[in-house]
Amino acid sequence: MSIDITLTVNGREINTEVSPETTLVQLLREHLLLTGTHVGCDTSQCGACTVHLDGRAVKSCTVLAVQADGSEVTTIEGIAVAGGLHPMQAAFHQCHGLQCGFCTAGMIMSAIDLVTREDDLDEATIRKGLAGNICRCTGYHNIVKAVQMAAGQMEGRGHE
């Protein structure tokens, strides 16, 4: 059985057929070949698959593709702003907030969501806010610094 869905992914309208058990991350990675979003676990706990669904961070391994019907999805491939990186991407680079790069897409998507939602971002709030994303490489130290840096810059530009 296939179900017809229409959604916007990174600003592009997609009309496709999926089987009911297809997850959003499968749709992104396998159908749309957007492989920047990763899968790191099978119990919805690592956050590597985090994308934005209608502006909120979700774990795309736990969302069915059909649930995204009619929605707007943004992935790591879709956040760069014209002519340059999103401030969060730039901050991860500046602060050495990534090593192997496998958790990075999910981490950046969660971090953007966190900065957009929370006004008062001290270190403890950032650490709590990112507790749904596991990074095995960095020890989080530089990720926290990157989020702090980006938060400052995103504020300057107003929340997107």
Partner 1 sequence: MSETEISTIGRSVLRKEDHRFITGNGRFTDDINLPGQTYAVFVRSPLPHAEVRAVDTSEAEAAAGVVAVLTGADLAQDELGGLPCGWMITSKDGSEMKQPLHPVMAVDKVNYLGEPVAIVIAETLLEARNAAETVQVDYRELDAVVGADKAQSALQIHAEAPANTCYEWELGEREATEAAFEQASHITSLDLHNNRLIPNAIEPRAAIADYQPGTEELTLYTTSQNPHLARLILAAFVQIAPEHKLRVVSPDVGGGFGSKIMVYSEETATAWACMRIGRPVKWCADRSEAFLADAHGRDHFSHVELALDDEGTFLGLRVKTIANMGAYLSSFASSVPTYLYGTLLAGQYKTPAIYVEVDAVFTNTAPVDAYRGAGRPEASFLIERITTMAAREMDIDPAELRRRNFIQPEDFPYQTPVALEYDTGNYGVSLDKALEMSGYAEFSARQQQSVSSGKLRGIGISCYIEACGIAPSQVAGSLGAGVGLWESGEIRVNPTGNVTVLTGSHSHGQGHETTFAQLVAARFGIPIDDVQVVHGDTARLDFGMGTYGSRSIAVGGSALSVAADKIITKGCKIAAHLMETEAENIDFDQGEFKVSSSNLSKTFQEVAFAAYVPHDYPLDELEPGLTEKAFYDPANFTYPAGCHICEVEIDPDTGCVEIVNFTAVDDFGRIINPMIVEGQVHGGLAQGIGQALLENCVYDDTGQLLTGSYMDYCMPRADDLPSFNVDLTETPCTHNPLGVKGCGEAGAIGSPPAVINAITHAIGIPHMDMPATAEKVWRAIQEKRGA
Query: Does 108 interact with partner 1 (rule: CB under 8 A)?
Result: yes
Closest CA to 111 of 95, 94, 128: 128
For ligand FES, give the closer residue by CB, 107 or 154.
107
Contacted entry of partner 1, ligand FES, none for residue 36, CB cut-off 5 to 8 Å set by kind: partner 1
Q: How far apart are CA 55 and CA 94, in angstroms?
A: 25
Helices (H) and strands (E) in the chain, counts: 5, 5
CB of 69 to partner 1, least distance (A): 21
- Considering the complex, what minimum distance in angstroms separates the CB of residue 35 from partner 1? 4
Q: Note whether 23 binds partner 1 by CB under 8 A.
A: no
Task: Give the range of 3-11, 41-49, 108-116, 121-129 binding ligand FES by CB under 6 A.
Answer: 41-49
Distance CA 14, CA 68 (A): 11
Q: Binding residue for partner 1 (CB under 8 A) from 24, 89, 113, 151?
A: 89
CA distance 59 to 80: 20
Beta strand 72-74 with 3-9: parallel, antiparallel or unpaired? parallel
Place of tokens 């119990």: 43
Task: Decide if residue 118 touches partner 1 (CB under 8 A).
Answer: no
147 lies in the site for ligand FES, by CB under 6 A: no
